Amino acid sequence: MFVNYHITYNVAECRLVIAPELIHWHWCLYVWDFERERVMVLDPMDMPFGEHHMAKKHKLGVKIMHAAIYKNPKKGG
């Protein structure tokens, strides 16, 4: 969950959330664009394999991060 004493704002109200991820021994980048309601994944190692391969590989990571962004700590989820 994206909540702590040093985060004094609602993360889901941000324009963008940019999160680097270390997956399979290389870095990729998840970008939540709340204004356009989309998630972009930049993965330089897998971009040549196409969108379907990248979507399959990053589906779980996106799901976990999405849940953390929208989790309400007062309601437990």
- 62 burial class (0-12, 13-18, 19+ CB within 10 angstroms)? middle
According to the model, what pLDDT value does residue 6 have?
A: 72
- Listed by start position, the domains of the chain span 11-70
For the full predicted model, state whether its pTM sits above 0.75.
no
According to the model, what pLDDT value does residue 3 have?
A: 59
Instruction: Write out residues in the chain with pLDDT < 70, as ranges.
Output: 1-5, 12, 72-77
According to the model, what pLDDT value does residue 9 have?
A: 73
Containing H/E element for 32? strand 26-33
According to the model, what pLDDT value does residue 1 have?
A: 47
Containing H/E element for 65? helix 51-70
Contact 19, 65 (CB under 8 A): yes
